[in-house]
Amino acid sequence: MITPREWARSIVVFKGMMLWVTGGRYNGSDLYTTELVTTHSAMPGPNLPFSMRHHCLVKINEQKAILQHANHTWMYSIHDKEISRYALQGPDLPLSIYSGSCGFLTDMGTGIDLMVITGGYVVVNITPTDRNLTEAERNNTRSEENYTRTRDNQTEAEKNYIRSKGNYTREDGNYTRIQDNQTETGTAKVEMIKETLLWNLGTNEIIQGPTLDKPTSQLPAITTPDRKSFLVLVDSLTTQWAEDFTTSIISYLYRLQCRNLKCWWTKMPHDIHNSARFQVLMFLPSAHCKGKVEQRQ
């Protein structure tokens, strides 16, 4: 690749000919560049709207892809070996979500495609300690006032969720935000969420979907080949940043389906004991699944 990067997101484009790799982080800085990679070469792709990591990139079909970062969404057109961003930005999300699990499904009643964002984390209680922003930048920073939301029949107030274009170097602790060549440092705390949001690609609206059983982030997810289900693997960890790698993990497979824009999660009978962290989900041709399946020791 042209630039080494971690926490990037990618999709296969041009009918399997190239991998579009977007954003990520290198040498302590978030990236706005992208690359088009083949098995023997790499070339620059279109730049992102701004630097980002922990974002979502979802391929809807061979001609369309969606990018999500924080509370922002964009639609991309893929055609004739060219990737371009639509002129109009997509709808804003009600929460600024990082490291959500993303994909899409088709509503079984209406046939409408829905982009899915579930779990992730939101930044809360930001305390700047070194501010060097111009007045114009202050005016351009968007935040949500303290608000009340209901979760599990309990009310949480004064969480002061922040919505901005910031990129944070740590999930819980000190952070550095770089915007328009200015730097702001301070302390940030995050909270994992269990909400599910759906972008109705037919009406361009954001729909509040059903919640998962527990807050999650950075979970592996995949859309089934028939496009009617969205699968996510939820693990038993209470935090995605726990450093105790000796803890035994159990993973649970959940399926999201929608009919006439009414959506629901179903827990599948596929518990995985002694599971690994940071798994990857993929579908295999049926020929690869015949015969005895060896159990991982």
What does the domain layout of the chain look like in residue ranges?
1-87, 122-190
Distances (CA, A) of 239 to 115, 172, 235, 278: 25, 11, 10, 13
pLDDT at residue number 275: 66
Q: Is 144 exposed, middle or buried (0-12, 13-18, 19+ CB in 10 A)?
A: middle
Query: Vertex 270, ends 266 and 272: CA angle to 5°?
Result: 125
Three-state SS sequence of 78-108: EECCEEEECCCCCCCCCCCEECCEEEEEECC
Residues 6 or more apart whose Cβ sits within 8 Å of residue 149: 155, 156, 159
- Name the phi and psi angles at 243, rounded to 5: -95, 0
> So what's the pLDDT on residue 80?
81
Which portions of the chain are predicted below pLDDT 50?
130-184, 241-242, 295-297
What is the reported pLDDT for 246?
52
- pTM of the shown model: 0.73
The pLDDT, as a whole number, for residue 217 is: 83
Instruction: Please calculate the CA angle 59-6-194 and round it to the nearest 5 degrees.
Output: 60
Which pLDDT score, from 0 to 100, does residue 81 have? 82
Query: Which ranges of the chain does DSSP label H, i.e. alpha helix?
Result: 135-140
What radius of gyration do the chain's Cα atoms show?
20
